[in-house]
Amino acid sequence: MDDQIKLSINGRKAAFENTYELTPDAKKKIDTLFEKIEALGLECKDSPDFEAKLAASPLNQEYINLFTELAQTCKSKLAPAPESVDAGPTASDVAKDLIQTQADLSVDGAVQHVRGRAYRAAYDKARDIPVVGDAIDVKNKIDFFSRFKK
């Protein structure tokens, strides 16, 4: 499995461990979910591929649902707010925000990856057109030599 995919999976798993005091039942649910997520990770060639497939997978919703469930059934490791101050967001709200941010970043990374690959494929196809390929070569040479101007 790609190292970046491992980091992504470990980060998601650590979010549970850092947020909640996990019961044995909760740990079992987390392990079961992450076995499926790791299996998906093994099928992916790189991190953007993994993030895109996870975002589109029902596993993403299972992850969100489990985070929300644990917010209701497990004690939070987050420090409680002082009594004199408004309690602010609940652990469930924090979990939802964390998950949404992670999903947004995953989708953005996947879109950038796909956009880059599409640009490169179009550029490579353009080079196969005789006149266009020659023009690209001339432009590349001009760009290269312009770096040495003073």
- Residue range 125-147, pLDDT digits in tens: 777 777 777 777 787 788 777 87
The percentage of the chain sitting over the pLDDT mark of 90, rounded to a whole number, equals 10
pTM of the model: 0.53
What gap in Å lies between CA 112 and CA 117, rounded to an integer? 9
Structure confidence at residue 38 (pLDDT): 93
Structure confidence at residue 82 (pLDDT): 52
Q: Which residue has the tokens 């956009």?
A: 115
What gap in Å lies between CA 18 and CA 34, rounded to an integer? 16
Structure confidence at residue 106 (pLDDT): 67
The percentage of the chain sitting over the pLDDT mark of 70, rounded to a whole number, equals 79
Average pLDDT, stretch 23-43?
91
| Separation in Å, CA 32 to CA 3, 96, 111 | 21, 21, 29
What's 76's DSSP letter? E
Average pLDDT over the chain, rounded to an integer: 78
Domain boundaries, the chain: 3-78+88-146
Average pLDDT, stretch 100-115?
69
CA within 13 Å, CB half, 113 = 15
What gap in Å lies between CA 119 and CA 96, rounded to an integer? 34
3-state DSSP: the chain helix, strand, coil percent, rounded to 5? 80, 5, 20
CA within 13 Å, CB half, 108 = 6
Structure confidence at residue 32 (pLDDT): 94
Structure confidence at residue 42 (pLDDT): 93
Tokens of 31: 């392990």
Is it the case that residue 56 has pLDDT exceeding 90?
A: no
What sign has the CA pseudo-torsion 19, 22, 26, 28? positive
Average pLDDT, stretch 96-111?
69
Question: Which residues 6+ apart lie within 8 Å of 64 measured at CB?
Answer: 96, 99
pLDDT in tens, 65-79: 887 888 788 787 765
What gap in Å lies between CA 132 and CA 118, rounded to an integer? 18
